Amino acid sequence: MSVTPGAYFLSGFGVFAVLIWLVSAVACIYAFVLFVKLARRGITALDLYNYSKNLEIRAKYESANKEGPY
């Protein structure tokens, strides 16, 4: 066993390596949160696009036979 007081913190990983690991872990979590927000916006935009196209298609095909054959 080592008698040096700081040997526990400076052996193995090291203080700076642990700090770099923590910063990269936080950055990865933050990037994941941003990606989820972007995906939710994309899904909302796609829903709005599909809704508008559906209305457009309905208006086109329902107005084609308004008078009807009878």
User: What is the predicted pLDDT for the residue at 44?
Assistant: 96
Give buried/exposed letters for 36-63 (b at 16+ CB in 10 A, else e): eeeeeeeeeeeeeeeeeeeeeeeeeeee
Phi then psi for residue 62, to 5 deg, are: -75, -30
C-alpha span between 3 and 39 (Å, rounded): 53
Domain boundaries, the chain: 28-64
Asked if 32 and 38 count as a contact pair (C-beta separation under 8 A), the reply is: no
Q: Please list the rounded mean pLDDT of every run of 10 residues in the chain (70 residues).
A: 57 76 96 98 96 87 63
Is pTM beyond 0.85? Reply is no
